[in-house]
Structure 1
Amino acid sequence: MNVQPIQVELGDNSTALALTSPDCGTLVLGAETLRRASRAASEIRRQVDGIELMIAPGFHVAGFEPIGNYALRLLFSDGHDTAASIPGPICVNSQNSSQPEVARWTESIAT
C-alpha cells in the first residue's frame, strides 16, 4: 500500500491543506487545526501556562516547503512556522475523514 502523499496543495482560500496519496485518496486538514497542533516549544509553554491561542479572522496557511522526503514546513499567516512530518498511516476514506484521524496526523507535528 502506498500511503506517502504524492500531492500536497492548499485549498479553500488557503484555510486547508490537502494531502493526496494514490491508495488513500485525499485527507484535508484545516489551517486552524494544524496551527493548534503545533509542537513548537513556545506553543507547548503557552498550553502549559493555560494561555488560549487566539486565531485572527482570515487566518490561513501562507505556504509550505518540502523538507527531505518526509516532512513539510508549514508557514502560517500569523508568522508561525513549524515542520510537520508526514507519517505513513494517514490512510482514511476522504468521505469519512474524521477528527480522530486528523488528531492522529497532527500529533506528529514537531519543530
Structure 2
Amino acid sequence: MAGLNKGTPTPTEIKLHQQSRLLDISFSDGKTFQFSCEFLRVHSPSAEVRGHSPGQEILQAGKKNVNIKQIEPVGNYAIQLNFTDGHNTGLYSWDLLYRYGLHQDEMWQHYLQRMEQVGASREPIVGKCNN
C-alpha cells in the first residue's frame, strides 16, 4: 500500500465530528465523503481485520458505538485512526479512503448481510459477566 496512485485525488479537508461519530473527507476533485466511525472501524485495512490473505477476514461485531479518538497523519499519503475500542493498526491511504467513499453503500450492505448471516450484532456487548 506504499504511496499513491498518480490519479488519486488527495484530501483537502478531514473533519471529525465526535458527537455524531462521523468523519468528513473532502478531496481535491471536489468530492466529499462522510463515513461513520463504525464503517471505518469494521472495514479497517489492518491484518487484524482483513487477515493475511483472502478468505481470512474477521467479521467485526459490536462496533456500533465506536468512535475515533485521534487521527494521526502518516507521511503525506495516509492517516492512522485511533478508535475508542483500542484498535489503531490500520493505515488508511488516500487511495483506500477514496475507493471506500465511492463504494461505501455496497460495502455497508455487504457488511450488514454478513452480520445477519452469522447472527452477529452491531450493538456492543455490555457488562458481560460469567459469575
Question: So what's the TM-score if we normalise by structure 1?
Answer: 0.66
- Map of 2:26 onto structure 1: 20
Q: Cα offset for 1:78?
A: 0.3
Q: Which of 37, 40, 43 is the equivalent residue of 2:43? A: 37
Q: Does 1:64 align with 2:61?
A: no
Unaligned 5+ residue runs, structure 2?
1-6, 109-131
Q: Cα offset for 1:48?
A: 3.1
Structure 2 SS opposite 1:48? coil
Q: Distance in 2 between matches of 1:67 and 1:14?
A: 25
Q: Distance in 2 between matches of 1:43 and 1:88?
A: 15
Per-residue CA distance 1:44-94 (angstroms, 9 max, x = gap): 34x738x64232553111121111111000111100012100119939xx9
Structure 2 SS opposite 1:6? strand
Which one has the bigger helix percentage? Answer: 2
* Higher RCO by CA contacts (8 Å cutoff, separation 6 or greater): 1
Unaligned 5+ residue runs, structure 1?
103-111
Structure 1 SS opposite 2:66? coil
Percent identity of paired positions between Structure 1 and Structure 2: 25
Question: So what's the TM-score if we normalise by structure 2?
Answer: 0.57
Which one has the bigger strand percentage? Answer: 1
Contact 2:73 2:79 in 1 (8 A): yes
Q: Distance in 1 between matches of 2:97 and 2:49?
A: 25
Q: Distance in 2 between matches of 1:40 and 1:2?
A: 21
